[in-house]
Structure 1
Amino acid sequence: MKRYLLFATTLYALPILRPIARAIAAAGDESAWSVSPALRNYMNADEQVLRDLDQIKAFAPHAVLSASNWVPHFFPGIKVQVFHGFNVNKREPGRGHFRIRGLFDLYCTQGPATTQPFQLLARQHRHFAVVETGWPKLDPLFNARTERTRLAAANGRKVCMYAATFTRNLSSAHALYDEIARQVAYGEHYWLLTLHPKVKPNLVAKYRALAGPNAQFFEAPDLTSMLSAADVLVSDTSSVVSEFMVQRKPVVTFRNRAPKAYMIDIQQPQQLAAALRDALDPSPQLIREIEHGAQQTHPYRDGASSERVLAAIADFEKSSLGQLESKPLNLLRKLQGRINYRRWLSESMRA
């Protein structure tokens, strides 16, 4: 029996790693979790949580899967990066999605748009491998057994989803509030609204107050039901844009930092109504751009990315162990990792 450790530091990591846990169980293997103290209350009763390094060493995972930018280097096992989101160009390449921190042995990429840059980096650095697997978070969205969510409350209206990034200088939450409130009151479409949990409470309260006959507000960390139910997404420079678009659905973005051809990008709130009309009646050119964007970002629609991640780990063990160069020392980063982990342990003992 193989053992896998799932490493989560933030709430959004759970819907990424849970499909992998289900795939591990289906294969007859065992998984356990190492999570920050803030996540302990979100864990299910059947999820084994290891509380300290001694328990982790006793569990002896042969692989550690991280949905964070880092992983404790002192954990036993192969270190596997499965990513906390898509690359949406929020930062410069050296600081964002393609930053190499010297902590991971294997990168499981989402599609050609991420695979090719990481393959170039792998040839440059020589201390990690890259395998394109698709993103486990999307497995429930594309699982053949999962039908599209239908909303009785929409009463046949088109469904618009709104989600904004938390990054302050890129967020549309303030700028679009009045226009979205007007759209909700008008009632031509049905709205599904959500905001990042770190958004200021007063702004969250304003959007939550829009709930009624024409809108629902969601606070769940897993947005799968929203992504499935909506016909169009309104957002900004959030990774949810890619999560939505790979369903081959249109997106309207507000001042996106790096707008793509598959987006309908607007600069002013009053342009939203016209953009929604274009999105809900897409031109043949827009449909082609969405298809191309989906193929580059995440071409997999079989709901089996988690299984491909496990297969990639098995192949890595057979072919790559002993062939990679040593990781850089990165003493400062490793020290920071130990400090973070010790802080977790202290917080756990106080809880």
Structure 2
Amino acid sequence: MADYLLFATERYALPILAPLAAALHAQGHRVFSWFEDGAAGGQLDGVTGIGLQQALALRPRAVFSAANWVPPFIAGAKVQVFHGFNVRKREDNRGHFRVRGLFDLYCTQGPATTAPFAALAREQGHFKVVETGWPKLDPLFQDDGGQAAALRLPAAGRPVVLFGSTFTERLSAAPHLYPAIAADIAAGQRYWLLTLHPKCSEELFARYRALAGANACFIEPEQVVAAQRAADVLVSDTSSIVSEFLVQHKPVVTFRNRVPEDYMLDFNDPAQLPRLLGRALAREPEHMARITAYADSIHPWRDGRSSQRVIAAADALLAGELGPLARKPLSACLRRLQIRKDLGYWGRSIG
């Protein structure tokens, strides 16, 4: 039995870490969480929440982070498990493939992520890369105890549409599509599951929550995976939920996606929403083939055991089976000092 620490800074990281916590418990380990910023106050079943001083004393075997950073002065291997897919909101050197010099191991989601990180690892030498799949998606391929079925029940045989939007103002569909979504909900031909990124404004949350009724339900972040299982089609924008949904080999309708691809049904005019939904629900064979090819490039793992592979990769790193690590780059020093300042800790690193 060993102690492990889960680290997050946003509430949306909890569904990423929950399957990992369950897998660690199943192997007989003790699991603790340290949640900062937007994730502060969040809880996972069977996981004890702790703070900085307790984390220092814990000396965990590994720290699994679903954030862009991790406290570098805590003991244990620092493992990046990612808070989303690469949806190209930013250039690679500022976005998904930015290496900050904080992690020892990157557990990648699929070939499209593995190849770039493996190239960076060979070039820089201070971290390792293992393709494991993404823990968040384990429940997509496991029995969920009827949660998805319960969300579908009110649809009474109607198609189920999930709406999920990013919080990034310049990319968010939520303000623009509200009238079209409200109209479709009022028409009642489809049943809607509505969710928003936790960072969206309270005013936007209030507007979308008010749409709940006989033809729609508002979904909290902890229900999003079950909602993805329940839905037949997703409506979104440039959010990582697009990739999560496509992994199921289901169609996605996107509004003004930053980099529209042929596996999406992208549109610019909100009035086009009903037509695009009809096309998505028709599941045209050629379009579905493009979806499958993309899904398999970003996340080919469909056995619901990515969490177990993440744990095994951390074990391999700690056992020296992945080879030695070079020293972290000097360029990471400023970032490490900033983390210490933000957390108010100037003591020694625990190794």
**TM bucket by the smaller chain?**
over 0.9
- 1:46 aligned partner: 46
Q: Does 1:215 align with 2:216?
A: yes
Once residues 296 and 201 of structure 2 are traced to their aligned partners in structure 1, the CA distance between those partners, rounded to angstroms, is 36
Mapping of residues 320-335 of structure 1, within 5 Å: 323-329=324-330, 330-335=332-337
Deviation per CA, 1:194-246, whole angstroms, max 9, x where unpaired? 11222222222121111111111123344112111100000000000011110
> Structure 2 unaligned runs (5+)?
346-351
Mapping of residues 305-316 of structure 1, within 5 Å: 305-316=306-317
- 1:184 aligned partner: 185
Mapping of residues 139-158 of structure 1, within 5 Å: 139-144=138-143, 149-150=148-149, 151-158=152-159
* Contact 2:161/2:193 (<8 A) preserved: yes
* Contact 2:164/2:235 (<8 A) preserved: yes
Once residues 39 and 68 of structure 2 are traced to their aligned partners in structure 1, the CA distance between those partners, rounded to angstroms, is 17
* Contact 1:129/1:320 (<8 A) preserved: no
Mapping of residues 107-186 of structure 1, within 5 Å: 107-144=106-143, 149-150=148-149, 151-186=152-187
Q: Does 1:35 align with 2:43?
A: no
Q: Does 1:259 align with 2:260?
A: yes
Once residues 44 and 310 of structure 1 are traced to their aligned partners in structure 2, the CA distance between those partners, rounded to angstroms, is 18
What is the one-letter code of the residue matched to 1:340?
D
Mapping of residues 241-256 of structure 1, within 5 Å: 241-256=242-257
Q: Report SS of the residue matched to 1:257.
A: coil
Deviation per CA, 1:16-63, whole angstroms, max 9, x where unpaired? 11111111111111211111265453325732122233x223321111
Q: Report SS of the residue matched to 2:272.
A: helix
- 1:286 aligned partner: 287
Distance 1:100 1:174, change over 3 A: same
Once residues 327 and 320 of structure 1 are traced to their aligned partners in structure 2, the CA distance between those partners, rounded to angstroms, is 19
- Computed over aligned residues only, the root mean square deviation of the Cα atoms, in angstroms, reads 1.7
Mapping of residues 34-113 of structure 1, within 5 Å: 34-36=34-36, 39-44=39-44, 46-53=46-53, 55-113=54-112
Could you tell me how far 1:153 is from its partner in structure 2? Answer: 1.0
What is the one-letter code of the residue matched to 2:52?
D
Once residues 307 and 245 of structure 1 are traced to their aligned partners in structure 2, the CA distance between those partners, rounded to angstroms, is 23
Q: Which of 323, 327, 344 does residue 342 from structure 1 map onto?
A: 344
Could you tell me how far 1:15 is from its partner in structure 2? Answer: 1.0
Once residues 202 and 58 of structure 1 are traced to their aligned partners in structure 2, the CA distance between those partners, rounded to angstroms, is 42
Mapping of residues 235-246 of structure 1, within 5 Å: 235-246=236-247
> Structure 1 unaligned runs (5+)?
344-351
What is the one-letter code of the residue matched to 1:23?
A
Distance 1:200 1:313, change over 3 A: same
Could you tell me how far 1:3 is from its partner in structure 2? Answer: 1.8
* Contact 1:247/1:294 (<8 A) preserved: yes
* Contact 2:236/2:254 (<8 A) preserved: yes
Deviation per CA, 1:129-171, whole angstroms, max 9, x where unpaired? 0000000011111115656722221010000011111001000
* Contact 1:8/1:34 (<8 A) preserved: yes
When normalised by structure 1's length, the TM-score is: 0.93
- 1:277 aligned partner: 278
What is the one-letter code of the residue matched to 1:105?
D
* Identical positions, percent: 53
Q: Report SS of the residue matched to 2:91.
A: coil
Could you tell me how far 1:117 is from its partner in structure 2? Answer: 0.7
Q: Report SS of the residue matched to 2:205.
A: helix
Distance 1:45 1:256, change over 3 A: closer
Mapping of residues 19-34 of structure 1, within 5 Å: 19-34=19-34
What is the one-letter code of the residue matched to 1:341?
L
Once residues 133 and 206 of structure 1 are traced to their aligned partners in structure 2, the CA distance between those partners, rounded to angstroms, is 39
Could you tell me how far 1:324 is from its partner in structure 2? Answer: 1.6
- 1:349 aligned partner: none
When normalised by structure 2's length, the TM-score is: 0.93
